[in-house]
């Protein structure tokens, strides 16, 4: 079953992937509850399938800062974080091939949140659905507009934008209720690019796109409404078998008796079955409905179908939950590597962009002159002292180089078979022969092509003078 879903997703995603070499997909999961079947069908299963598509760099994280907006019970936040991490791992997420981390392990996220806060329009935040709904409730009850509303709820979209923009994610798979948040992230990104972007070079932020996968089912809950913890109608993903069975028996049906034909339209039971079954199995169930299957039997079939898919995952889950220290280590390791590779260099560039700078250095990057609007690029003279090539070997046995400016990565090479090959590319670049499209190097995030050209020209000039 898992296989079938994988294939569908592989086809849709692979098509888009071939166009560009690597796209970044990012998903956050708020750690405020226990994983349920709706999360599994709507988020976990499709996301893990998508993570197997080649050419995609996937980011999955536990949004525990977001959880604090709603949950102020520490033990619940901790428990939920553990359960959700274990669930994703048990369902096949591989931290070796995707970035898997906990939001609160990346201090660059709240740091970027502040930078974005200072450019976010307050009026835009006033219109966020979740905040507005809370205000409307207060008004309905004759209360002060903001009674009982914490500023976290108000700032929620900015924190979410930081999650996405820090890693320049191209796509963010979300439910419809989150689309507005992605639009806001785009708005903040555009404002930032406009304010601080180098007009001649690359922009700081990629504009993310919301992806709503039409193939992915929204699962109904026990009462037929969308399965959601806010409706208290969820079926836990990893309940013991006995409990799963009991829960399934409590799905609401109509009162038709055995032998009476039953409607598949609007039947929560049928919809849940369909989300787990193959096309053939679904057709069989449809026929059984028409033939008047009893609700008891239908529920038994549903239970067995779900349990077949879930029980091997449940075994893994129980194993993981029994060793929380392993999960803790995995998360910390993911965050450490991700910070080194992306978050730290990225924040350094963004701090530069807004003017949080080393006072002893000449202005770096393009700078808008407040009075005349003229653009001043940094002089090549200041460049030569900073940027250097570093060659090294990775644990994969291949040879790499990067062009670094202090701790900022300006260029990162692909892996070469021999140090000689890596060296000859470095030599080429040192002669000023730089082709951003040759597939040998990628430009560091937030780095303007202009800057690289200027750095390489300065290095070439310096070598010539020697
Ligand atoms: N707000 C999202 C939700 O409730 C969770 C989330 C937090 C998220 N940060 C994100 C989702 C970044 C995608 C990208 O579902």
CA atoms 202, 204, 207, 208: torsion sign: positive
DSSP 152-190: HHHHHHHHHHHHHHTTT-SEEE--GGGHHHHHHHHHHHH
Domain count, the chain: 3
pLDDT at position 1 is 36
Q: Whose CA is nearest to atom 4 of ligand 1?
A: 30
Give the global pTM: 0.75
Q: In this predicted structure, which of 154-163, 175-184, 375-384 has the lowest mean pLDDT?
A: 375-384
Residues 194 and 257 in one domain: no
Calculate the average pLDDT of the chain: 88
Report the separation in Å between the CA atom of 173 and the middle of ligand 1, taken as the mean of its atom positions. 9
Q: What is the domain extent for residue 312?
A: 238-321
Residue 417 CB-density burial (10 A; 0-12 exposed, 13-18 middle, 19+ buried): exposed
Place of tokens 């070469």: 416
Q: For the segment 146-161, what is each residue's pLDDT rounded down to a tens digit?
A: 999 999 999 999 999 9
Residues 152 and 257 in one domain: no
Q: Within a domain: residue 351? A: no
234 lines ligand 1 (CB under 6 A): no
Residues 37 and 96 in one domain: yes
Residues 166 and 76 in one domain: yes
Joined together, the tokens standing for residue 409 give 């990565």
pLDDT at position 17 is 32
pLDDT at position 289 is 97
Stretch 104-115: mean pLDDT, rounded?
A: 98
Stretch 181-204: mean pLDDT, rounded?
A: 86
Q: Which of 217, 158, 171 is nearest to 27 (CA)?
A: 171
28 lines ligand 1 (CB under 6 A): yes
8 A C-beta contact, residue 213 and residue 178: no
Cα(383)–Cα(365) distance, integer angstroms: 11
27 lines ligand 1 (CB under 6 A): yes
Last residue of a domain, one of 290, 321, 352: 321
63 lines ligand 1 (CB under 6 A): yes
Please enumerate in sequence order all residues whose Cβ is within 8 A of that of 21, keeping only pairs 6 or more positions apart, or say none: 55, 439
pLDDT at position 464 is 64
Residue 445 scores a pLDDT above 60 = yes
Q: For the segment 317-340, what is each residue's pLDDT rounded down to a tens digit?
A: 999 999 999 999 999 999 999 999
Residues 389 and 430 in one domain: yes
Stretch 396-425: mean pLDDT, rounded?
A: 91
158 lines ligand 1 (CB under 6 A): no
The rounded percent of the chain whose pLDDT value lies above 70 is 88
Report the separation in Å between the CA atom of 30 and the middle of ligand 1, taken as the mean of its atom positions. 6
Residues 153 and 246 in one domain: no
Q: Within a domain: residue 75? A: yes
Q: How far, CA to CA in Å, does 360 sit from each of 196, 357, 363, 382?
A: 21, 9, 9, 12
Place of tokens 């999650």: 163
174 lines ligand 1 (CB under 6 A): yes
Report the separation in Å between the CA atom of 442 and the middle of ligand 1, taken as the mean of its atom positions. 28
Give the CA angle between residues 274, 278, 284 to the nearest 5°. 75
Q: Report the CATH number that the domain containing residue 50 is assigned in CATH.
A: 3.40.50.620
Q: For the segment 54-87, what is each residue's pLDDT rounded down to a tens digit?
A: 899 999 999 999 999 999 999 999 999 999 999 9
Q: Report the CATH number that the domain containing residue 312 is assigned in CATH.
A: 1.10.240.10
Q: For the segment 451-466, what is each residue's pLDDT rounded down to a tens digit?
A: 788 788 777 776 765 5
């Amino acid at each position: 079953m898992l296989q079938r879903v994988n294939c569908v997703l592989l086809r849709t995603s692979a098509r888009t992937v071939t166009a560009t070499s690597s796209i970044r997909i990012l998903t956050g999961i708020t750690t405020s509850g226990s994983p349920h079947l709706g999360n599994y069908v709507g988020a976990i299963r499709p996301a893990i399938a998508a993570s197997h598509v080649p050419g995609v760099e996937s980011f999955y994280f536990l949004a525990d800062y977001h959880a604090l907006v709603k949950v102020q019970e520490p033990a619940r936040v901790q428990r939920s974080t553990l359960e959700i991490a274990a669930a994703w791992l048990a369902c096949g997420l591989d931290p070796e091939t995707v970035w898997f981390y906990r939001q609160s392990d990346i201090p660059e996220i709240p740091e970027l949140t502040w930078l974005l806060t200072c450019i976010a329009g307050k009026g835009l935040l006033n219109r966020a659905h979740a905040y507005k709904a809370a205000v409307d409730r207060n008004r309905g009850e004759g209360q002060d507009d903001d009674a009982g509303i914490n500023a976290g709820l108000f700032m929620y979209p900015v924190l979410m934008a930081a999650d996405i923009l820090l890693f320049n994610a191209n796509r963010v798979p979300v439910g419809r209720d989150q689309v507005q948040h992605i639009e806001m992230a785009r708005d903040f990104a555009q404002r930032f690019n406009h304010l601080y972007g180098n007009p001649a070079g690359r922009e700081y932020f990629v504009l993310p796109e919301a992806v709503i996968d039409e193939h992915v089912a929204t699962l109904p809950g026990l009462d037929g409404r969308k399965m959601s913890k806010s409706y208290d109608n969820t079926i836990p993903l990893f309940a013991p078998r006995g409990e799963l069975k009991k829960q399934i028996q409590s799905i609401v049906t109509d009162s038709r008796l055995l032998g009476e034909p039953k409607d598949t339209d609007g039947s929560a039971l049928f919809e849940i079955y369909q989300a787990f079954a193959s096309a053939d199995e679904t057709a069989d169930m449809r026929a059984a409905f028409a033939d008047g299957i009893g609700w008891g039997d239908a529920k038994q079939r549903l239970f067995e179908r779900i349990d077949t898919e879930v029980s091997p995952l449940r075994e893994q889950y129980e194993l993981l939950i029994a060793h929380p220290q392993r999960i803790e280590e995995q998360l910390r390791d993911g965050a450490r590597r991700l910070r080194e590779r992306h978050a730290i260099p990225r924040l350094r560039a963004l701090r530069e962009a807004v003017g949080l700078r080393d006072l002893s250095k000449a202005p770096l990057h393009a700078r808008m002159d407040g009075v005349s609007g003229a653009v001043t690029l940094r002089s090549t003279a200041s460049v030569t002292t900073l940027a250097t090539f570093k060659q090294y070997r990775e644990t994969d046995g291949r040879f790499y180089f990067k062009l670094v400016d202090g701790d900022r990565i300006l260029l990162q090479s692909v892996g070469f078979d021999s140090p000689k090959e890596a060296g000859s590319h470095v030599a080429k670049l040192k002669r000023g022969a730089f082709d951003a499209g040759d597939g040998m190097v990628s430009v560091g995030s937030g780095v303007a092509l202009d800057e690289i050209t200027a750095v390489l020209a300065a290095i070439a000039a310096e070598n010539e003078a020697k």
